[in-house]
């Protein structure tokens, strides 16, 4: 019998939502917008942060850079020899890298920035955690000359295959031709989408480095947990060098993405407050029709608790519709590439190769959306429902 009663209450609640479509829409639409905005902001930020944090598996234990006048400059190989003598250091591998603009001829001409990096193939370790895999061709080999390995962020828009030849211009306008030895993909896109790998000597020649110069030094340790202590020793023993450990890079990533998400959180809080106020106004708007409806139900044997249950079901349905609808819209937006929000978070994305944002739907974020989207509206229905429910059926019907 109780089951039949609850089914009847659910049926009446659903009919009320459909009968009062404009009222239902006035509550669901703003809340849907709030949840979609918060979900899009959170999922994009978390996805990019996850991608950036995943790139830490590809970074050395300590990254050493030369600072001149507070800006990064070329570092001498003399520092490499000094660092290698420090106890606990397993190896020091130099890198030479820089940015090169390449024009994309689509609807409009667009210059895209790619990272051209020279590595020592025989000494540079590649972590299996980075999920680096070759789709075509092969990786760089020792004694390779004028050969490069490119990512999908380069091969796809330019329709380049392994074995093709491409040309780049350096800062002096000199054109260099390279053969594409291989094309790779990676689970980490934020740094590898625009990455072009080349032999060290080719990169030095392209950027005008001397044979004893590098962009930075990758320090690998016997015991990675000792990175903070050894980074401090390198900085103190060799003034003018900046050291970055994986932990410090991780903190920088969190601060950057956390700070940039602040503006969206402020906007979201304003919209959320507006939506809750609209829902409260609708809940406390006790109309004559509502009183008459409740009076008829009570005359048919409904109790105050039955009325509260019906109205609570209406509010619960509206909250769930708005929340799950916003959640679905946020996921769809993320799968579409998060246009607009991704550009804001990355900053330089207008000149960076396009790449998909990793899908990162955090359970805590979904739980927060459900809590905020359902409970305020649900709580706001209790007092109005009680006010309506205690009205005498005879008076309510005669209103």
Q: Where are the domains of the chain?
A: 2-53+256-398, 75-214
Question: In angstroms, what is the C-alpha Rg of the chain?
Answer: 30
Instruction: Determine the pLDDT at residue 189.
Output: 60
Instruction: Determine the pLDDT at residue 106.
Output: 47
Instruction: Determine the pLDDT at residue 343.
Output: 64
CA angle (80, 85, 91) in 5-degree steps: 60
Around Cβ 182, how many Cβ atoms within 10 Å?
A: 19
**What tokens were used for 174?**
């000199």
Spatial neighbors of 259 by CB under 8 A, at least 6 apart, are none
Instruction: Determine the pLDDT at residue 282.
Output: 57
pTM (whole model) above 0.85: no
Which long-range CB contacts under 8 A does 208-211 form with residues at least 24 apart?
Answer: 208/170, 208/171, 208/172, 209/74, 209/96
**What tokens were used for 215?**
């962009």
Handedness of CA 151, 152, 157, 162 (dihedral sign): positive
Find out whether 354 and 337 touch, Cβ atoms under 8 Å. Answer: yes
Euclidean distance between CA atoms 111 and 271, whole angstroms: 37
Tell me the CA end-to-end span of the chain in Å, nearest whole number: 32
Euclidean distance between CA atoms 17 and 311, whole angstroms: 10
Smallest CA-to-CA distance from 64 within 297, 235, 222 is with 235
Q: Which residues of the chain have pLDDT under 70?
A: 1, 3-6, 51-57, 103-111, 125-132, 186-192, 253-302, 304, 340-359, 380, 382-383, 385-399
Spatial neighbors of 186 by CB under 8 A, at least 6 apart, are 130, 131, 132, 133, 151, 192
């Amino acid at each position: 019998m109780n089951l039949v009663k609850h089914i009847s209450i659910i049926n009446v609640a659903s009919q009320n939502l459909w009968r009062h479509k404009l009222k239902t829409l006035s509550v669901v639409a703003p809340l849907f917008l709030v949840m979609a905005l918060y979900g899009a902001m959170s999922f994009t930020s978390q996805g990019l942060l996850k991608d950036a944090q995943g790139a830490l598996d590809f970074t050395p234990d300590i990254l050493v850079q030369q600072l001149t006048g507070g800006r990064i400059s070329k570092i001498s190989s003399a520092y490499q020899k000094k660092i290698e003598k420090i106890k606990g250091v397993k190896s020091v591998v130099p890198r030479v890298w820089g940015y090169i603009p390449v024009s994309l001829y689509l609807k409009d001409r667009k210059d895209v920035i790619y990272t051209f990096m020279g590595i020592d193939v025989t000494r540079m370790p590649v972590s299996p955690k980075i999920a680096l895999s070759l789709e075509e061709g092969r990786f760089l080999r020792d004694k390779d000359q004028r050969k490069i390995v490119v990512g999908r962020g380069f091969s796809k828009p330019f329709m380049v295959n392994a074995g093709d030849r491409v040309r780049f211009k350096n800062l002096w306008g000199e054109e260099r031709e390279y053969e594409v030895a291989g094309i790779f993909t990676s689970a980490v896109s934020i740094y590898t989408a625009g990455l072009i790998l080349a032999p060290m000597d080719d990169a030095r020649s392209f950027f005008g480095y001397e044979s004893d110069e590098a962009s930075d030094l990758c320090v690998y340790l016997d015991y990675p947990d000792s990175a903070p202590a050894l980074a401090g020793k390198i900085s103190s023993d060799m003034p003018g060098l900046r050291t970055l450990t994986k932990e410090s890079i991780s903190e920088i990533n969190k601060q950057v993405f956390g700070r940039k998400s602040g503006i969206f959180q402020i906007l979201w809080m304003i919209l959320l407050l507006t939506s809750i106020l609209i829902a409260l106004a609708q809940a406390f708007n006790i109309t004559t029709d509502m009183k008459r409806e409740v009076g008829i139900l009570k005359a048919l044997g409904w109790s105050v608790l039955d009325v509260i249950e019906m109205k609570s079901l209406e509010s619960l349905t509206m909250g769930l519709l708005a929340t799950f609808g916003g959640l679905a819209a946020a996921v769809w937006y993320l799968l579409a590439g998060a246009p607009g929000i991704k550009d804001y978070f990355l900053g330089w994305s207008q000149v960076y190769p396009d790449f998909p944002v990793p899908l990162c739907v955090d359970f805590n974020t979904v739980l927060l959306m459900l809590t905020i989207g359902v409970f305020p509206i649900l709580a706001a229905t209790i007092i109005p429902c009680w006010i309506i429910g205690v009205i005498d059926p005879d008076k309510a019907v005669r209103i």
